[in-house]
Amino acid sequence: MDILTQARESLDELTKEPIDITEYLKDITETKIISVEDNIREYLKSNNKKLTTLSEIQSRNAWNKPTGIKPSEKITFDDIVKMVKDNPNKKFSISDVWVNTSLVYVITKFNRVPNIPQCISNLNFTNGLHWEALDSPHYYLIEYKGKLVLCSTIGGHRATMCVLSNGYSSLMPSKITYIGSVDVADVAERCALIHHIDCNKRANQTADDRLSSGVEAKDYTYVEVMQDLIYCKLYVNEDQMKSVAIKGFRKCSSWQGFKSIRKDYGIDTTKYAIDMIMKFTKSDEIILTQAVETITCFRSKFDDRIKSICSSKDIFDEFMGEYFVMQNQSTIKSNGKLIEDILELKDRFNNWCNYKEYTGKVGAITNKHLIAAFGDSIKI
């Protein structure tokens, strides 16, 4: 592109009219506004008649009555309505307001409709509603269809869990904000801002933080991962471990990757690969889960073939010992794709076997073995 063309395009950018996105987006009056209770009713109607009532959901999941410390009941929704009528110009934001769940609405222009299966899953974790985990859902006062109701900013899913646990028109604690207007368009703009800040303008948990908090919360999924990491002499965050207890342990590059490998190939084969890397690398090296995956998959797919080549000793272990003299973990995962890394490791292993005369003129791992291991997912 020549200089003249660039100058013309820059001028065009400066002089062209900006696009008015409101012309393309639905107006607040055109967007869906739905109560959390109606959302549940719609879900039950379309649930293929598996569970068609709240009582069936509650019975199937066998939830306990709400547990934890119940928030104080300081003020009612009727009190809020009276405050607005008595002094409509006075703005306020009040916590510990107990409201009827039938009053909670979600405006889909800026907020997502509560996911019922996810709410059920969350309730199953605590075996029913937990007051402290519910915290303080935040709603804004709006007028909708001629009556004052509550617009959800941070609390659509929480109100849904209250309904699932305690039934329709149940009471729940909340924080209510009145901005001096109950006009849907005015309030929705404020709600969208607060919702966006809560969802996006914050310091989210890192992956390591999620593991730590999950373990401390005794979430079995995370506890199981931690147990398996310890079994394999790995840690994620050294600062959260007892230094004496993790002597000889190595840092794991990704606990999610480790979890996936363990799920796909089993903990014993995964540990075999980790032990091998630990044996042939420096004690301060991070264990790269992609390298673990390559070795684990290779051993899992070709274990029978490797043993048939030589039953008196582990020749793959011997091969990897010589491999790591010149190569490293990064080499094992150099292609970034599992199948390609497997094929490269296979070529190196076959050459090594021929050099050691373990297989003679017959390839250690042939195309037949590759097809048996990977089927149509591999191109030979």
How sure is the predictor about 15, in pLDDT bands with cuts at 50, 70 and 90? low
Q: What is the reported pTM?
A: 0.72
How sure is the predictor about 254, in pLDDT bands with cuts at 50, 70 and 90? very high
Q: Do residues 180 and 199 lie in contact, with contact meaning Cβ atoms separated by under 8 Å?
A: no
Compute the distance between CA of residue 296 and CA of residue 298 in angstroms, rounded to an integer: 5
- Mean residue pLDDT of the chain comes to 89
Compute the distance between CA of residue 226 and CA of residue 267 in angstroms, rounded to an integer: 12
How sure is the predictor about 195, in pLDDT bands with cuts at 50, 70 and 90? confident
Task: Quote the Cα angle for 222-266-243, to 5°.
Answer: 50
Those residues whose C-beta lies under 8 Å from the C-beta of residue 112, and which sit 6 or more positions away, are 106, 156
